[in-house]
Amino acid sequence: MFRMGIMCTQVMSIIVPTFNEASTIERFLESLRDRAGDAEIIVVDGSSSDDTLELARNRSDQCLRSARGRARQMNRGAAAASGDIFWFLHADTEVPADCVQKICDVFRNPEVVGGFFRIRIPSRHFVYRLTDSLGHYAGLLLQMRFGDHGFFCRRPDFE
């Protein structure tokens, strides 16, 4: 398990709900492993009709099956997780290089329950830049966040 930073001793579990992600799952998990070190990575597949689960097996710590539906998949992953911190990510996102340190820094404040990133979909197409920006600013306006923002929280608060 990954222990975040020198001053942060919490173990992180990264939970990735998937559905037909065969075209991106390997690249995503390789990048995630590179940036998140030895964090526990749990892929929870929602009955994909492609090779998502098979492709994820060698690049994650656990691969689970679940009924389709992000909430079901996220809860299934959380039930199997061993970490003190849960980080929920979509397989079509790219996380910042210093993501683990940023999470560690946030949780130095014991009052903080969780947070999120402004994650961008890794595509240069204008439509994705537009939806990324709209999602970000709509979230600020409505005071809510969407799944692509990579929510993270302390285990006790999630439970």
Do β-strands 12-18 and 62-65 pair in parallel, antiparallel, or remain unpaired?
A: unpaired
Beta bridge partners of 154: 85
**Residue type (1 letter), 11:** V
Query: Which are the contacts of 155, defined by CB distance < 8 A and separation ≥ 6?
Result: 78, 81, 83, 84, 85, 86
**Residue type (1 letter), 71:** A
pLDDT in tens, 127-155: 777 777 777 777 677 766 665 668 899 99
**Residue type (1 letter), 79:** A
Beta bridge partners of 143: none
Residue 1's pLDDT is 39
Q: How many CB atoms lie within 10 A of CB 93?
A: 21
Measure the CA–CA gap between 48 and 100, rounded to whole angstroms: 29
pLDDT in tens, 4-56: 444 466 789 999 999 999 999 999 999 999 999 889 999 999 999 999 999 99
State the DSSP H helix or E strand holding residue 150, giving kind and residue range, or none if neither: none
| pLDDT value at 82 more than 60 | yes
Instruction: Dig out the tokens for 130 from the structure.
Output: 């537009």
pLDDT in tens, 120-134: 666 677 777 777 777
Per-residue confidence at 119, pLDDT binned at 50, 70, 90? low
Query: Exposed/middle/buried for 117, CB within 10 Å: 0-12, 13-18, 19+?
Result: buried
Q: Which residue has the tokens 């173990």?
A: 11
Q: How many CB atoms lie within 10 A of CB 7?
A: 8
User: pTM for this one?
Assistant: 0.84
